[in-house]
Structure 1
Amino acid sequence: MMITEKNHSVMFILSGFSEYPELQVPLFLLFLIIYAVTVVGNLGMIVIIRINSKLHTPMYFFLKHLSFVDFCYSTIVTPKLLENLVVQDRSISIKACISQFSIGVTCVVTEMVVLAVMAYDRFVAICYPLLYPISMSPKLCAVLVTVAYAWGIISSIIFTYSLLIVSFCVTKIINNFVCEYSVILSASCSDKHFSETIFFIFANLNTLSTLIIILTSYLFIFVTILKMNSVSGRYKAFSTCASHLTAITIFYGTILLLYCIPNSQNSWLFVEVGSVFYIVVIPMLNPLIYSLRNNDVKETFKKLMHLKIISQ
């Protein structure tokens, strides 16, 4: 059963952080600053990579798309969060809620695949450096990124379909600030077994498959680094992986913490804070993580700022 006219009248109320009215203004200002930094950081990273020829490498090609996905994901959720912090009416239609979820899933799954591809890129660069220019050709990089976006869209279609086939009968208060799969499905008044099974299979497939690629790649990388005789060579090899390791540790660590704890009433605050970190903060952190350890990025940023000052 697809969404019916009855379903169109169903509304969700995103009540996230409403239990702390005295924090509404401080949270609004905090999230506004985070969103501004996210937009500037990710779009700035894309511009810097495009204009600096030294950064026209596979790793930064993938990073450019990671920044784009982070920007899109944050933009899908954060403006609605900011709106809910300053208005009394926190309702959202079932259609809008599922649309937000659908686009969000596309971004999250795409990011998972891109992070796995970046791990593979580091594996080839460190374990087979002589073959790296051939193995990671521009054509292959374009194919890998296309696969990442395509699988993100396919996963989103599958998850969205599993929500569209159920019926929604009542207005539901969601104790969160974002439309997640579990909270949308909780408002269903029809059989949810098939939808829950689909979500379980594909959510675990996406997480485990990308994690296996990442962990396998880094297992070979660490073995190769340990075999190096030069201390400086080991440091250089490890430093090229440090930013990516930091990003995947934060990303997957937050996901595992969020979805491996029971959703009891006592854990709602943890879930809300964890969701904020996962959805709002991580897209801001990624460009900072990758830029802080890269002199080429910092030098290009300084030149851009210098040109801006001169033009003024």
Structure 2
Amino acid sequence: MDVSEFFLLGLSDDAELQPLLCPLLCVLFLSMYLVTVLGNLLIILAVTSDPHLHTPMYFFLSNLSLADISFISTTVPKMIVDIQTHSRVISYGGCLTQMSIFILFGCMDSMLLSVMAYDRFVAICHPLHYTIIMNPRTCCIFILVSFFVSLLDSQMHNVIVLQLTCFKDIEISSFFCDPSQLLNLGCSDTFMNNIVSYIIVAISGFLPTSGIFFSYYKVLVSILRVPSSSGMYKAFATCGSHLAVVCLFYGTALGVYLSSAISLSPRKDVAASVVYTVVTPMLNPFIYSLRNKDIKKAMWRFLSRTISA
């Protein structure tokens, strides 16, 4: 059947629990959203306002924070409004738009993590040439390439869904327009579309992860050659926050993929998606601010200037 709108099943379809769950879920997700936006915004403001942080690493970090804000803003505000108004309808065009922006900034996160891994590789393995290799022009090129690759990925998914002439159902077992679920709702043979989609995901996921693994393999080899334990600790410390974010991002993404592949319960898939789309962007600012002395100092200086002004 042809459709003009979809029906998002949300987090729970139990009518008896709705009066109790709705206020709690609104408060919970609004709080998580505000913490995510304020935490990432604080990192951006601290980096841009402090001359000591005008380095490639913190330039990429501020762009990662901007991508995280955009990523969570794609799904959570719509979900909060739907819970509050008890309306789970999303138009066909709105669904495609949400899916495209979701993929864009999700892929952008992955690309930026790969670029930040390369930055750590150059800083540790080629410290004398770091300022030459990671010059401002190169850093801007990395950001632009990451954005356009992510944009290409999102639009290719959009084209695949647009080729579906009809849908066998209008119910999406999630709180947002999940691209994999949209493909499965197609009433025509979607085998080739699924193959193309998997190839796109493999490329957009395989390339960044390959870059991360290669960079940290070189970093590990270089660190093991350091004779002093203090030098090794210092080298590891420069990578600690980034490694934690990488593990969190790809760990939750892998958890979502495995849960959707193994689990037969759509509710469990939704719970895994919440962790990936909401919890991960919220924790990133805490990981960087708690493990990074420069960020903490810059934040305190920024807050002190703001309060005194």
TM bucket normalised to smaller: over 0.9
Find out whether 1:123 has 2:121 as its counterpart: yes
Tell me whether 218-227 or 301-310 shows the greater mean CA deviation. Answer: 301-310
Alignment correspondent of 2:48 = 50
Per-residue CA deviation, residues 228-273 of structure 1 (Å, 9 max, x unaligned), is 0111111111011000000010100111111123546644333112
Query: Where do 1:136-285 residues align within 5 Å?
Result: 136-169=134-167, 171-263=169-261, 266-285=264-283
Alignment correspondent of 2:10 = 15
Structure 1 length as normaliser, TM-score?
A: 0.93
Distance 1:169 1:261 in 2: 24
Per-residue CA deviation, residues 184-230 of structure 1 (Å, 9 max, x unaligned), is 12222222122211111010111111111101111111111111011
Distance 1:261 1:8 in 2: 28
Distance 1:80 1:262 in 2: 23
Shift of 1:123: 0.5
Q: Conserved in 2, the CA contact under 8 Å of 1:46 and 1:64?
A: yes
Per-residue CA deviation, residues 157-194 of structure 1 (Å, 9 max, x unaligned), is 11110000112345522221111112112222222122
Q: Which runs of 5+ in 2 are unaligned?
A: none
Distance 2:107 2:11 in 1: 24
What is the identity percentage for the equivalent residue pairs of Structure 1 and Structure 2?
37
Opposite residue 221 of structure 1, the aligned amino acid is V
Q: Determine helix, strand or coil for the equivalent of 2:185.
A: coil
1:105 counterpart (78, 103, 122): 103
Alignment correspondent of 2:33 = 35
Q: Determine helix, strand or coil for the equivalent of 1:224.
A: helix
Distance 1:188 1:211 in 2: 31
1:28 to 1:127, Cα distance in 2 relative to 1, 3 A: same
Opposite residue 4 of structure 2, the aligned amino acid is S
1:261 to 1:45, Cα distance in 2 relative to 1, 3 A: same
Distance 2:10 2:146 in 1: 33
Q: Conserved in 2, the CA contact under 8 Å of 1:28 and 1:85?
A: yes
Q: Determine helix, strand or coil for the equivalent of 2:23.
A: helix
Distance 1:98 1:126 in 2: 42
Tell me whether 131-140 or 187-196 shows the greater mean CA deviation. Answer: 187-196
Opposite residue 308 of structure 2, the aligned amino acid is I
Opposite residue 27 of structure 2, the aligned amino acid is L
Q: Conserved in 1, the CA contact under 8 Å of 2:259 and 2:268?
A: no
Shift of 1:155: 0.6
Shift of 1:17: 2.4
Distance 2:271 2:260 in 1: 15
Distance 1:33 1:210 in 2: 31
Distance 1:39 1:261 in 2: 28
User: In the comparison of the two structures, how many residue pairs are matched?
Assistant: 306
Q: Conserved in 2, the CA contact under 8 Å of 1:166 and 1:191?
A: no
1:131 to 1:270, Cα distance in 2 relative to 1, 3 A: same
Alignment correspondent of 1:65 = 63
Distance 1:112 1:192 in 2: 27
Distance 2:225 2:262 in 1: 48
1:56 to 1:176, Cα distance in 2 relative to 1, 3 A: same
Q: Conserved in 2, the CA contact under 8 Å of 1:14 and 1:92?
A: no
Shift of 1:310: 3.1
Distance 1:178 1:141 in 2: 33
Tell me whether 166-175 or 138-147 shows the greater mean CA deviation. Answer: 166-175
Q: Conserved in 2, the CA contact under 8 Å of 1:126 and 1:224?
A: yes
Alignment correspondent of 2:22 = 24
Distance 2:79 2:260 in 1: 24
